Amino acid sequence: MTTIKRWEPVREVMTLREAMDQLFNDAFMHSAGARTVASTPLINMYQTDDDIIVKATLPGYTKDEVNITLTNDFLTLQGRYEKEEEDEGKSYYIREQSYGNFERSLRLPVDVELKKVEALFEDGILTITLPKAEAVKPKTISIKAK
């Protein structure tokens, strides 16, 4: 006797979704101890009338572990997060903290005053203030009446 099983398309989609989740987890979440590349910092870049502001999230870093360079119209952040010393007595249940080098370059949307750039590192947030060059700042033009 043959049993007929009702086909449920939603169950098939969920199975496919679970398979895709597993594929991405295997590809991007490495096993304990195998993760060696530092995460790229998350960045917000926005403008005001006078400045370009770049904020980078760098938890666990100190100001001495991060370098900022400005070349032509590119801002580059580089850093190194050192690997924690291995201890033979440790048996990890979870190990997700990454270590190694990162580099992130951003093209600046306008020219900036190189000599007036400021950087502030506070509570794991790096804030870089890049004053716009006078030529690109908005100008108000007064209207004369006759």
Tens-place pLDDT, residues 36-92: 445 678 999 999 989 999 999 988 888 999 999 998 889 999 998 776 666 678 887
The domains of the chain are located at 35-83+98-136
Structure tokens at 23: 């594929």
Rounded distance, CA 15 to CA 51, Å? Answer: 50
- 3 state SS of 45: strand
- 3 state SS of 16: helix
Return the CATH number of the domain spanning residue range 35-83+98-136: 2.60.40.790
- Amino acid identity for residue 5 in this structure: K
Which residue, 110, 113, 129, 104, is CA-closest to 54? 129
Report the predicted TM-score, pTM, of the whole model to 2 decimal places: 0.64
pLDDT at 29: 55
